[in-house]
Structure 1
């Protein structure tokens, strides 16, 4: 991943300058009577490399129960094996409020989507819902592109051997649904997905991100022309195990850090779990409260110098950009 950081510098982006605390950004206002609070965690990678992440999940859920958000969501790569999942799901289910899942690529390391969805209690692999004056969209980016150009579901690590440009696609049916769903939305839109469509180090693994970004752009253009309040206003993504924010065509894009580790040739685990709470204020502010940690074990100097502290969910020092 270190070599890929050069791509960000070429774009004028930066993943440095991480800040402990709370930050906020202007988003579309709503008529909701009160702020909406969301607990979010991503890339837990339970049992990846044989690591049991129940303690990290427990810490998140302890914070959730103390904070009492309106809902919680995990942004993919939640459970990498079907064995020894009881502790994770038991912790997840401690919260009695609404809970939502996003499928990540490693969730299908040892099974197909249907099996993972059944385990997580997901009725649909992509879906939307309204809450607190906002319209929320959850996407599935877990399709591979075969040599003949057709798409196939991720299943049992079938995506792993493929070159990066053949990974991280969303299917045509989903894109058609997305276009219609956004057009029919009655409120400002917040999107959650696993693999990024923007800001990613994995610039050669964006799949059909351009199609998705075009749908966001078209939706927002039509909303502005019609004077409607259903613009896409923020997109939250995982997968990269890093903290980033930038603005593209009026939309805020965030990459959410892994709860567990940074990957650079090997997994460099954080001493503490990373997660965050997002607050959507009716007047038009999005606030993110992140969580800091250090590395659990010694790490190379070049990594510690660039990432001295890991903060969940946001970065500073990234300029506004208006196109990919």
Structure 2
């Protein structure tokens, strides 16, 4: 994402959306931590985003080196949570001027992250592949593909990759700008086919946002949303990139933007979550520190 996010703007956007869609929010979201009465968790999923780890001095509201301390706190909380899997929603590292430096950032933060949970999934963020190629990033963290799907229990999960330029070229080696994020035709075709082949309720993970249009959103997000809506199986999309808590419901799909771990200094300015899916298919996001909590039944 940009190096100059204004969190006050993001907060104002959230306020306006609440005023515009307050009835939907009150009907579909609770800030309480409890699952639906009588429903036990079927799956527990760790979520975090925008760690932006780098061994460099703070810039603005970003305290790059403090990510190591923040992930240690998250590890202490999540390691005992009996997670089924863990997802990082992009911008795992910050950009560097040289490949070896950026690989060093990645190897440093990958180690404590890997200690949290054996089953891990990484969404590519624009900073992850600013200097590195996608192949270099994926090889280092041990993930085969940048977009794919998998099943756990009664749910289907989809990981998307919007780190492509408008002309379809993948990000890497500083060949892109963060506002030019797209899901290319080949991935769109794969997504439609993947959703059509599954009969399970589905959750999508993305980095750049899909719930609207603008600089922090995937350029062809209306096309992506149409595919998600037509499947009639997608319950929620979890995304990052804009660094502040945000939520809106679009045509029956919950879009939850998580708070960035990198923002601000000190242990209280952390953010991560556990997503619980109950036996009735209800979703609860238990947010820690600055991450908001939600519940959708």
Same fold (TM over 0.5): yes
Query: After the TM superposition, which residues 151-300 of structure 1 pair with which residues of structure 2 at under 5 Å, given as runs?
Result: 151-160=168-177, 164=179, 167-198=180-211, 202-203=214-215, 205-220=217-232, 231-261=233-263, 268-269=264-265, 271-272=267-268, 273-292=270-289
In 2, distance between residues paired with 1:33 and 1:6?
A: 36
Q: Matched residue of 1:62: which SS?
A: helix
Quickly say closer, same or farther: Cα 1:253–1:270, change in 2 above 3 A. farther
Quickly say closer, same or farther: Cα 1:21–1:259, change in 2 above 3 A. farther
Cα pair 2:32 2:293 within 8 Å, conserved: no
Q: Matched residue of 1:107: which SS?
A: coil
In 1, distance between residues paired with 2:34 and 2:125?
A: 27
Cα pair 1:234 1:252 within 8 Å, conserved: yes
In 2, distance between residues paired with 1:197 and 1:7?
A: 15
Q: How far off its partner does 1:109 sit?
A: 2.1
Cα pair 1:108 1:154 within 8 Å, conserved: yes
Q: How far off its partner does 1:254 sit?
A: 0.2
In 1, distance between residues paired with 2:288 and 2:169?
A: 37
Find 1:73's aligned residue among 69, 78, 87: 87
In 2, distance between residues paired with 1:207 and 1:100?
A: 24
In 2, distance between residues paired with 1:233 and 1:54?
A: 33
In 2, distance between residues paired with 1:5 and 1:312?
A: 13
In 1, distance between residues paired with 2:183 and 2:272?
A: 26
Superposition CA RMSD, Å: 2.8
- Is 2:291 the partner of 1:312? yes
Cα pair 1:244 1:315 within 8 Å, conserved: no
In 1, distance between residues paired with 2:244 and 2:159?
A: 20
Quickly say closer, same or farther: Cα 1:99–1:204, change in 2 above 3 A. closer
The gaps in structure 2 that reach 5 residues or longer are 1-5, 23-29, 58-63, 95-101
In 2, distance between residues paired with 1:269 and 1:114?
A: 32
Cα pair 1:169 1:206 within 8 Å, conserved: yes
Cα pair 1:254 1:313 within 8 Å, conserved: no
Number of equivalenced pairs? 264
The gaps in structure 1 that reach 5 residues or longer are 26-31, 221-230, 262-267, 293-310, 317-324
- Is 2:38 the partner of 1:36? no
